Homo-oligomer: A and B are copies of this chain.
Amino acid sequence: MSLLVVGTVAFDSIHTPFGKVEKTVGGAATYIALSASFFTKNTGIVSVVGEDFPETTLHKLKKQNINIDGLQIIKGGKSFYWSGKYHEDLNNRDTLVTELNVLADFNPVVPKQYLDADFLMLGNLTPAVQQSVINQMSKRPKLIVLDTMNFWMESMPQELAKTISMVDVLTVNDAEARQLSGEYSLVKAAKKILKMGPKYLIIKKGEHGALLFDNKQVFFAPAIPLEEVFDPTGAGDSFAGGFIGYLDKTKDISFDNMKRAVIFGSAAASFCVEKFGIDRLLEISDDEMHDRIKEFINLVQFDIQL
C-alpha cells in the first residue's frame, strides 16, 4: 500500500440550516480515504468501529479500492458517534453529543502490508495514537500529513507538540492556527508553527479557501463560490484526502506539485459539501472533476504582463 490513512470511522448526526440527518456514516478516515480514492487506488485505512457499523458501508469502501484490513471491528462494541448543529453561516457549529465508544480504547495496529507506505495521513485523533502509528512504520514515509484540532491544543498541548514535531505537513483551520501560535496574523502564525517542526503548513479557511505555507512561499486556493453549501461536515477531511491522494498518485512532493494538490483537495471538498455525509464523494466522475478544476482556473486566472 502506498497511502495509509489513520483516523475515525464513525456515525454522525448532522443538523444544518437545510435539513438534518441521523446517524449517517462519517469520520475523518472515511472522508479522507474516499476523497483520496478518486486519485489513487492504493489506500488503506487504520481505524476502529463497533459491531453496529453497517456492512454495506464496508463494501462501499472496498468498492473504491480502499483496503480495510487495518479496520478493527470490536464485537459488541459501538462505533464513535458525533452529533452537531451548524449555524446559519456554516463556518461555526455546536457539538451536541460526542460518544467515544470503541475509540476510547483504540490501539491502532498497522498491518504488515502498510508498514512501508510512502504517504501517511494522520486524521484527527488523540496525538498519542497518531504517534503510535508513526512509530510502527518500518521506514519513514516520504510525507506525513497531520490533521488535528483545538480540542487537543487545549487538553494535551505537549503530546500534540510532540506529534507536530514528527510530521512534514500540518493542516489546521484559521482559528486553530491562531490558537496554536498565539498570533492573530496568519502570516505570523505560520512562521511560528513552521518552527515547531513541519516543513509545510496548510491553513483551511472554509468558504474562504486555503493557504499553503513553507518557509519561503505562500500559495492560496479559493473555495469555489457555491450556490448551496448543503453540509460542510467532512470538507476539511475531503480536502486533506484529495491533497494527499493527488501527491500519492503523482509521487512528487515539490512545492509546485503541492499547489496542484491543494487545488485538487479544494475540488474534492467542494464536491463533499454538496450533499449530506459521504454521499457526494462516492459519485464524482472524471468529467465533473475536470469541469471543477476548470472552474478553479477561471476563478483566479488573470493576465497581467509585468
Contacts and interface: CB of A to CB of B under 8 A. Distances in A.
A136 to B, nearest CB: 35
A59 interface: no
Contacts of A294: 306
Interface stretch (A39-47, A113-121, A157-165, A218-226): A218-226
A209 B211 CA distance: 13
A297 interface: yes
A219 B259 contact: no
Interface string A201-222: 0000100110100000111111
Contacts of A298: 217, 219
A89 interface: yes
A186 interface: yes
Contacts of A153: none
A60 to B, nearest CB: 29
A303 to B, nearest CB: 7
Q: Which of A186, A220, A228, A229 has the most CB of B within 10 A?
A: A220
Interface in A174-195: 184-188
Contacts of A226: 185, 187
A175 B209 CA distance: 18
Contacts of A209: 208-209, 222
Nearest to A228: B185
A222 B211 CA distance: 11
A299 interface: yes
A184 to B, nearest CB: 6
A94 interface: no
B229 A185 contact: yes
A304 interface: yes
Contacts of A229: 185
A259 B302 contact: yes
A22 interface: no
Contact of A188 (B17, B227, B300): B227
A289 B298 CA distance: 24
Contacts of A299: 218-220
A256 interface: yes
A293 interface: yes
A303 B220 contact: no
Given A185-B226, A208-B209, A256-B303, 9 more contacts: A88-B184, A185-B228, A186-B225, A220-B222, A220-B225, A259-B303, A260-B304, A294-B306, A297-B304
21 contacts: A17-B184, A185-B226, A185-B227, A185-B229, A187-B225, A187-B226, A208-B209, A217-B298, A218-B299, A219-B298, A219-B300, A220-B225, A220-B299, A220-B300, A221-B300, A222-B222, A259-B303, A260-B302, A262-B302, A263-B302, A297-B306
User: Top 9 closest A-B pairs, CB basis?
Assistant: A208-B208, A259-B302, A187-B227, A300-B300, A220-B222, A187-B225, A220-B299, A260-B304, A263-B302
